[in-house]
Amino acid sequence: MKKTLFDKVWDSHIVDTIKDGPQIVYIDRHLIHEVTSPQAFNELESRNIPVFRPDQVTATADHNTPTQNQHLPIKDERSKKQLEQLAINCKKNNITLYELGHKYNGIVHVIAPELGITQPGMTIVCGDSHTSTHGAFGAIAFGIGTSQVAQVFASQCLLLTKPKSLRVTVNGNLKKGVLPKDVILYIISKLGTNSGTGYFCEYAGDVFENMSMEGRMTICNMSIEMGARGGMIAPDETTFEYIKNREFAPKGSNLDQKIAYWKTLPTDNGAQFDKEYFFDANDIEPMITYGTNPGMGIKITETIPQVNTPSFEKSLAYMNFEKGESLINKPINYVFIGSCTNSRIEDFRIAANFIKGKSKAPNVTAWLVPGSKQVETQIIKEGLEDIFTKAGFELRQPGCSACLAMNDDKIPEGEYCISTSNRNFEGRQGQGARTLLASPLLAAATAIEGKIIDLTEYLTHSLVQEIQ
């Protein structure tokens, strides 16, 4: 039978199938952080169950950490307690922890790929919905709740029902200024936020084949925003090249063997999907969201659609936007470049390249929050910090930061923020904050101009100037 990439990985991880019930799926890698793990550790302790395979668990502190003065004691008592508890739990159970300040610390979905922990053909889970990020390597990776975190601790397995399969194919060449973030925002705006529920999604076509690993991670990261449990991209030479020489990647002949296996994973020609969508790369332009779910996105040149449902109107009222309005020239006071969607070195290079020699608008507060300590180090090594500081941007220390505003990095009430993160829900970046999701390029441009600009026109214009 012809199999999809998802089928191949899934089928190879089945321990047992329960009659009239779910399957027992083996989990290769379990990533944990301070917010969704403490109750799972409690559960184990109360039942006197040990962590079954501590070597397959990796922990980091990211959701609730400060992004300034990380060397000083944490001021917020409850945050401090949560981090201390993580350290205690990891120590007790022999789990490797990259705590605050460690050279490998950072956002869970940034560090695991960066360290070579994430590999093709694996099953990877974490108590965080954006675990889908790791699917960029051809792994089955998805977010789980805390009860399931406890299950994986106890047995290295989960009870699951096989999801349906969905494939999104995008062929063609992307236009100048169109980034992976625009591609995924475009797809979600077309399909809506629950089109993927019950499905695992594979992304196929030249657009993804030609994309860097960083870009593929941005794509898979947001699969959950269309409801899909996860997203996947077939592993290829780009994937193998990225993995080679990373800290925990297989080495030497072991790597050769692995690569030979990984090459067998891509979807067979003629394999069937339950649902398929096709898009043309040429139709994608720089995107931005205007509402309170990630599906409410438009091309920067478009206007807010006329939809007459109470939920849509409630959302526009929260954002203080009108139907039929264009977002171009809207003044913006906050810019956030960060989160597990866009906080890798590539994202900061793109931003720096645009910012170089310019200054941010006086009304703008611009936060740059690297996804990991390694990204931060690289930013400094490549001299990007200098560009950012000269332009008036604030380079902070790694963490989730204003993506979920659990720490002090909150956008004030009523303010608009152009954010490279993945969710624009009400209050996501702070109570009453209004989030507009966009690419790091549009975010950087907004910080310079102090308002939203027509990036497409700007780029064509600067291209013409370059040629002249």
Binding residues for other proteins (CB under 8 A): 12-13, 15-16, 18, 20-22, 24, 26, 35-36, 38-39, 42-43, 47, 49, 63-64, 76, 78-79, 81-82, 85, 121, 127-129, 131, 143-148, 150-151, 154-159, 161, 163, 193-194, 197-198, 227, 229, 261, 293, 309-311, 314, 404-406, 413, 423, 425-428, 431-432
Q: Residue from 32, 217, 400, 447 that binds ligand SF4 (CB under 6 A)?
A: 400
Question: Which is nearer to ligand SF4, 4 or 422 (by Cβ)?
Answer: 422
Question: Toward ligand SF4, which CB reaches closer, 189 or 422?
Answer: 422
**Binding partner of 405, given ligand SF4, other proteins, none, CB within 5-8 angstroms per partner class:** other proteins
Judged by CB under 6 A, the stretch of 38-46, 74-82, 179-187, 396-404 that binds ligand SF4 is: 396-404
Cβ distance to ligand SF4 smaller for residue 134 or 360? 134
> Is 438 near ligand SF4 (CB under 6 A)?
no
If contact means CB under 5 to 8 A according to the sort of partner, which of other proteins, ligand SF4, none does residue 316 touch?
A: none
Sequence letter at residue 165: S
State yes or no: residue 422 binds ligand SF4 (CB under 6 A). yes
Figure out which of the listed residues 232, 355, 403, 417 binds ligand SF4, where binding follows CB under 6 A: 403
Rounded to a whole number of angstroms, the minimum distance from the CB of residue 425 to other proteins is: 4
Coil, strand, or helix at residue 416? strand
CA atoms within 13 A on the CB side of 307: 16
The residue assigned the tokens 């199938």 is 17
Count the helices and strands in the chain (H runs, E runs).
Answer: 16, 19
Residue from 404, 418, 438, 455 in contact with ligand SF4 (CB under 6 A): 404
Count Cβ neighbours within 10 Å for each residue of 291-304 and write b for 16 or more, e otherwise.
bbbbbbbbbbebeb
109 makes contact with ligand SF4 (CB under 6 A):
yes
- Rule CB under 6 A: is residue 130 a binding residue for ligand SF4? yes
| Residues 43-82 interacting with ligand SF4 (rule: CB under 6 A) | 62-63
Residue 354 and residue 259: Cα distance in Å, rounded?
A: 37
Which CB atom, from 7 or from 114, has the smaller least distance to ligand SF4? Answer: 114
Tracing tokens 């209050």 back to the chain, one arrives at 427
The nearest distance, CB 128 to ligand SF4, in angstroms, is: 5
CB of 12 to ligand SF4, least distance (A): 27
CB atoms near residue 206 (< 10 Å): 14
**DSSP one-letter string for 139-158:** -EEEE--HHHHHHHHHHSEE
Give the C-alpha distances (Å, rounded to integers) separating 28 from 16, 157, 363, 379: 16, 9, 48, 32
Stretch that binds ligand SF4, among 170-178, 229-237, 254-262, 399-407 (CB under 6 A): 399-407
CB nearer ligand SF4, residue 5 or residue 136:
136
Contacts of 92 (CB under 8 A, 6+ apart): none
Of 351 and 459, the one with the shorter C-beta distance to ligand SF4 is: 351
Residue from 339, 407, 424, 439 that binds ligand SF4 (CB under 6 A)? 339
Q: Return the one option of ligand SF4, other proteins, none that residue 340 interacts with (CB less than 5 to 8 A, by type).
A: ligand SF4
CB of 15 to ligand SF4, least distance (A): 28
Q: Taking the complex as a whole, how short is the minimal distance between the CB of residue 261 and ligand SF4, in angstroms?
A: 29
Token digits for 459? Answer: 């780029």
Handedness of CA 95, 100, 104, 108 (dihedral sign): positive
Measure the CA–CA gap between 8 and 267, rounded to whole angstroms: 8
CB of 230 to ligand SF4, least distance (A): 14
- Other CB atoms within a 10 A radius of the CB of residue 215 amount to 25
Distance in angstroms (rounded) separating the CA atoms of residues 152 and 135: 19
Q: Where are the alpha helices (DSSP H) in 93-205?
A: 108-114, 146-155, 180-191
Which does residue 18 bind out of other proteins, ligand SF4, none, counting CB within 5 to 8 angstroms by kind? Answer: other proteins
Q: Which does 26 bind (CB under 5 to 8 A by kind): other proteins, ligand SF4, none?
A: other proteins
CA distance 430 to 55: 37
Which span sits near ligand SF4 by CB under 6 A: 80-88, 107-115, 248-256, 300-308? 107-115
CA end-to-end span of the chain? 57
C-alpha 424, offset from chain centre: 14
Query: What CA–CA distance (Å, rounded) separates 65 from 46?
Result: 28
> Residue 227: which of other proteins, ligand SF4, none does it interact with, CB under 5 to 8 A by kind?
other proteins
For other proteins, the closer of residues 312 and 458 by Cβ is 312
What b-and-e string marks burial along 113-124, b requiring 16 or more CB atoms within 10 Å of the CB?
bbbbbbbbbbbb
The answer to whether 407 touches 375, Cβ cutoff 8 Å, is no
Quick one: CA dihedral 73, 79, 81, 87, positive or negative?
Answer: negative
Q: How far apart are CA 402 and CA 341, in angstroms?
A: 12
Q: Of ligand SF4, other proteins, none, which one does residue 308 interact with (CB within 5 to 8 Å by kind)? A: none
Give the binding site for ligand SF4 (CB under 6 A): 62-63, 107-109, 128, 130, 339-340, 400, 403-404, 421-422
